Amino acid sequence: MSSSFDTRDDDNGDGDLTDLLGEIRVLLPAAQLLSGFLIAVPFAPGFSRLVGSEQHIFLATFVFSLISLVMLSGPAIQHRLIRPLRDREQFKVIAGRQVLAGAVALAVALVLVTQLVLSAVMGDTLGNIAAAALGTLIAVVWWFLPWWLRGKGHV
């Protein structure tokens, strides 16, 4: 079974990195925006009122957000540093795995920030329900649906 980033599925099979770049362009702004928001949060007046578990959730959210930034920007930086590429196919597989790791970290950060924000605004119960719903939506749309469509031969 080939990787979802395997270049054998490319139209021309030449290891073009355009599709990988497009994927990074979609995910990276979300990670940047979330990280920027989280950097500003500790300076907000109400931040000092966070208690035990909320502080831990904030810390985990911030760490996952930064991990997603590093993993999603990594392929672009690596591509620049190791030019010219000798093996585009291998680079694309490795970079694709980094993008997937960045997407997983971003998904976790999005679920955690949903829980943190809605718990602060609407209470823990609604925050937990919303976080679970978002986690389920991400799992279905990002992971299950592509796997299911591929199994059905639709993609």
Average pLDDT, integer, range 97-104: 95
Average pLDDT over residues 69-97: 89
Answer yes or no: is pLDDT of 11 > 50: no
Reported as a pLDDT band with limits 50, 70 and 90, residue 15 is low
pLDDT tens readout for residues 17-73: 788 888 888 899 999 999 999 999 999 888 888 888 888 999 999 999 999 999 999
Contact 53, 116 (CB under 8 A): no
Q: CB within 8 A of 115, min separation 6: which ones? A: 57, 127, 128, 130, 131
Q: How far apart are CA 61 and CA 35, in angstroms?
A: 9
Angle between helices 88-122 and 18-40 in degrees, nearest 10:
30
User: What average pLDDT does range 5-14 have in this prediction?
Assistant: 45
Q: Give the Cα separation of 143 and 133 in Å (integer).
A: 15
